[in-house]
Structure 1
Amino acid sequence: LPHSEKTSPSPYQITNDTRIRRTRDTSDLGDKSIYSNSGPHSGNGLYLRPFRIPPQSDDGLLPTVTSAARTSYRSKFSPWPPQRVISPTLRRRRHLKALAVVSFLAAILLIHDVDNVRGRNRLHTTASIFGGSARPGYFSRSSSIISSSKWHWAAVSDLDRLSRMPNSESDPTFYSILQSGTLSRNEDGKYEMDFAKETRTLTGKHNEGGRGMELSELVTFQNRLLTFDDRTGAIFELLSSHSDSGGEEHATTVAIPRLVVTEGDGDTMKGMKVEWATAKDGNLVIGSDGKEHILPDGSIYRNHLWVVILGPSGDFRREDWTKKYQFVSDALLGPSGPGYITHEAVGWSEFLQKWVFFPRRVSLGRYDAIADERRGSNIALLVNENFTSSTEVKVKFKSSDQLRGFSSVSFVPGTRDQHVLAVRSVEQGCAKSGTGGCLQRSYGTVFDLLSGDVLMDDKLFPLNYKFEGIEFVKIDAPVSQK
């Protein structure tokens, strides 16, 4: 303000650099304080530095303070470092930066959540797919139950070299017979087995060396009815359908190839010789005959000692079961000797928490193809999960015919795995005659696994075929599939 106005004196002076300065007398200090924007860091805002207001001089004006005196004053009487007052422009700029950072982090979290949802959806989708199938299965053991004492069952045949259909030389086609029926338990605890009059024929063209559709096992897994070709290593899913023709209803079943499994550790072109399969802990354990084979050059072939662990979606891994098969062999034959055992019926009992082995052949001597046909077994071996202990049970069959050996088993529903439905099959004259004089036949039987008591004597299948897979299942498609 101009001094000529003679108003009350102002404690401020306007300097040339537009900064507001407060002049003061260095001779004495009052108790009041003001702030100045002058300082070493002034530029983007006002830096507040407290200092005390000196008393006025006699003429009412504050004497001008020199720069040196001002610096000395600040070094003496400033108790804390400069404090910065943020300008509005800089404040807005920082708010925008903070908003950008928050938006970026929110976007990352959103993308992460979307990926998690997609991952869960992928897992859910994969769980409903098996071997490339785009639909869920519809077969189950529970569907086999007619009543508490009656069940549906089905069985598949392994015709070996006889599986090639006649007159299919130019376009080879192979087949297997699907037999169905019912099993009933009487009031006295005995069982009766009935066979459906009509059978179904499963056909396919997959083959290895001119052989195929030699189906050796039948199991339900993940609500799917699976069967296995012991020649090619193919895993088929059976699908049933109904059709009306001329007012008559016809039911058909087809075998759809889902997977192909090679033998041993997998590094081979040879299909796995699948002989048995059983569900355990949500997986399907698939095994071969568990026997070492001596090749013509004297070397030992051990690929049949491996098993495959098949997961719910069709993924699988392999395990070397050499020690486990050896444990079974030692339990039945002793730790030494030239004998051998072949397996075609192995099951895991969820109720008993034991592996159950039903050997097809048991021999105390060396392998001989012709003599091997008469090495049928009537033994069941119960083994704990860790393969450290076992219990042998001899099934008390009336017939002592050693041509008959276990080829497949299935636990009777509702018996806590104590009653077993088994197929005992026969190959007679097949080793030396090939297809010409090879005679096949199969028998159904039921027995108590823990006591060995027979609850149904051997009953001959109507067709003279070798059946190697049996399961409690109703092979007709449900109503929703018709």
Structure 2
Amino acid sequence: MTAENNSNMLNFLLFGFVTAIAFYSGTQFNKPSESTEAVNGSNIDFQHVSHASLYTTKKFDDGAKEYSTMLITDLDHESRDGKRWRSLVSRGFLKVSADHKHADIHFDKDSEYFVDTNIAAGGRAMEMSDLAVFNGKLYSIDDRTGLIYQISDKKAIPWVLLNDGPGNVIKGLKGEWMTVKDTELIVGGLGKEWTTTDGEYVNDHPMWVKHVSAAGAVHHVNWKDVFIRVRRAAGIEYPGYMIHEAVQWSPIHRKWFFLPRRMSNEKYSEAEDENRGTNVLIIGNEDLTDFEVVRVGEENNKARGFSAFQFVPNTHHQLIVALKSEEKDGKPVASYACVFDVHGNVILDEYLLHGPYKYEGIAFA
């Protein structure tokens, strides 16, 4: 057996091992008669999770506040580094004026570092999408393997494996967004039908979402009707489509917020999709039955699509910091950060971030 075959076999065994752990975790999902369960030698209360913040705050004499911020990349094919795969992490700061009318963001190139892994699927890995602070820890998801990683001490530590669709398939979830609602981490994918590159229907797997408990137990929920209602609110009907990479739940508003990456009334086409970016914010009630559509700003560069967002701290979830990324012929061109309020008023125009990278996750950490 060659060295390359040995490497592939090791990756397969590692992936299988993590899959087995995730399957076992899923079979233990929140038994009704048990509110706590021993995990790694400690008791985790399923009804209570930590909502502690991880960011630092600097206060200025004029009332402005500056928050520590983290970004993570999806490097696609460029994530491979020999026999390992990696993702670039950048750290910076978001400053917001006291009246919330002005904002500034900057990232320090010297603070960049890589997190890596040797767990891959199909020769690809560490194509990270989104960041979420859950139960006092920072998490990201690899959209190739479906693995949720804890990001800690400049390392990516495997936590839970998410299967695609209803959870009974071999393929890992192409996870694109993460949010926290009450005591669960909710992870979702593209939110559209899986199709061929020419838009021919294959399955509904990307329309399932995953509810993950603090102990790592997974519950699979079909959101097909939800995603249909979301796109219908913006006037999109199948075979038209809407792609989601940026979804958040707001416990302050008790509402859902969607920033679609791309949408079109036309059938999906891989060749055309790169120029179907949006400037739309869709706000839904808690039951996801009633929606409001808000236009963000007056202009829309359709080559740029939303890839992630977070509510800015201490603004009562009135301000949003969002990422947009741009691709050409399937390769990353640039990423941008912007700030706007929930009514669509732009506070900070799209600010070019360092490097030809596709930043797909942002968190205050």
Verify same fold: TM over 0.5: yes
Is residue 150 from structure 1 mapped to residue 66 from structure 2 by the alignment? yes
The correspondence for 2:160, drawn from 244, 247, 259, is: 259
Is residue 292 from structure 1 mapped to residue 203 from structure 2 by the alignment? no
- In structure 1, what is the Cα distance between the partners aligned to 2:337 and 2:262? 17
1:65-105 deviations in Å (ceiling 9; x for gaps): xxxxxxxxxxxxxxxxxxxxxxxxxxxxxxxxxxxxxxxxx
Name the structure 1 match of 2:42: 125
Structure 2 alignment gaps of length 5 or more: 1-34
The correspondence for 1:186, drawn from 82, 93, 97, is: 97
Name the structure 1 match of 2:216: 314
Q: CA deviation at 1:371?
A: 0.8
Question: Is the contact made by 2:36 and 2:45 (CA closer than 8 Å) also made in structure 1?
Answer: no
Q: Hey, which of these two has a bigger chunk of helix by percent? A: 1
Name the structure 2 match of 1:361: 262
The correspondence for 1:332, drawn from 234, 251, 268, is: 234
- In structure 2, what is the Cα distance between the partners aligned to 1:122 and 1:291? 38
Question: Is the contact made by 2:54 and 2:136 (CA closer than 8 Å) also made in structure 1?
Answer: no
- In structure 2, what is the Cα distance between the partners aligned to 1:120 and 1:288? 29
Q: CA deviation at 1:142?
A: 5.1
Question: Is the contact made by 1:333 and 1:339 (CA closer than 8 Å) also made in structure 2?
Answer: no
Amino acid corresponding to residue 108 of structure 2 in structure 1: A
Which secondary structure state, in structure 2, belongs to the residue aligned with residue 161 of structure 1?
Answer: helix
Amino acid corresponding to residue 202 of structure 1 in structure 2: V
Name the structure 1 match of 2:7: none
Identity of aligned residues (%): 32
Which secondary structure state, in structure 2, belongs to the residue aligned with residue 455 of structure 1?
Answer: strand
Question: Is the contact made by 2:130 and 2:177 (CA closer than 8 Å) also made in structure 1?
Answer: yes
1:110-168 deviations in Å (ceiling 9; x for gaps): xxxxxxxxx97848923189xxxxxxx99953533233611000010001112112xx1
- In structure 1, what is the Cα distance between the partners aligned to 2:275 and 2:312? 28
Equivalent positions of 1:200-219 (< 5 A) are 200-219=113-132
Is residue 163 from structure 1 mapped to residue 79 from structure 2 by the alignment? yes
Question: Is the contact made by 1:174 and 1:211 (CA closer than 8 Å) also made in structure 2?
Answer: yes
Name the structure 2 match of 1:238: 151
Equivalent positions of 1:76-115 (< 5 A) are none
CA RMSD for the aligned pairs? Answer: 2.4
Name the structure 2 match of 1:465: 357
Which secondary structure state, in structure 2, belongs to the residue aligned with residue 270 of structure 1?
Answer: coil
Equivalent positions of 1:428-439 (< 5 A) are 428-430=328-330, 438-439=331-332
Q: Over alpha carbons, which structure has the higher Rg?
A: 1
Amino acid corresponding to residue 43 of structure 2 in structure 1: T
- In structure 2, what is the Cα distance between the partners aligned to 1:466 and 1:410? 17
1:427-452 deviations in Å (ceiling 9; x for gaps): 1121xxxxxxx342100000001x21
1:223-261 deviations in Å (ceiling 9; x for gaps): 111010000001111111xxxxxxxxxxxx010111111
Q: TM-score, normalised by structure 1?
A: 0.63
1:194-220 deviations in Å (ceiling 9; x for gaps): 112320111111111110000011111
Question: Is the contact made by 1:282 and 1:311 (CA closer than 8 Å) also made in structure 2?
Answer: yes
Name the structure 2 match of 1:87: none
Amino acid corresponding to residue 352 of structure 2 in structure 1: L
Equivalent positions of 1:340-419 (< 5 A) are 340-396=241-297, 398=299, 400-419=300-319
- In structure 2, what is the Cα distance between the partners aligned to 1:278 and 1:122? 25
**Which structure ranks higher in relative contact order (CA pairs < 8 Å, sequence separation ≥ 6)?**
2
Is residue 174 from structure 1 mapped to residue 85 from structure 2 by the alignment? yes
Structure 1 alignment gaps of length 5 or more: 1-118, 130-136, 241-252, 431-437, 474-482
Which secondary structure state, in structure 2, belongs to the residue aligned with residue 338 of structure 1?
Answer: coil
The correspondence for 1:280, drawn from 181, 185, 206, is: 181
1:357-389 deviations in Å (ceiling 9; x for gaps): 100001111111121000001000000011221
- In structure 1, what is the Cα distance between the partners aligned to 2:354 and 2:150? 25
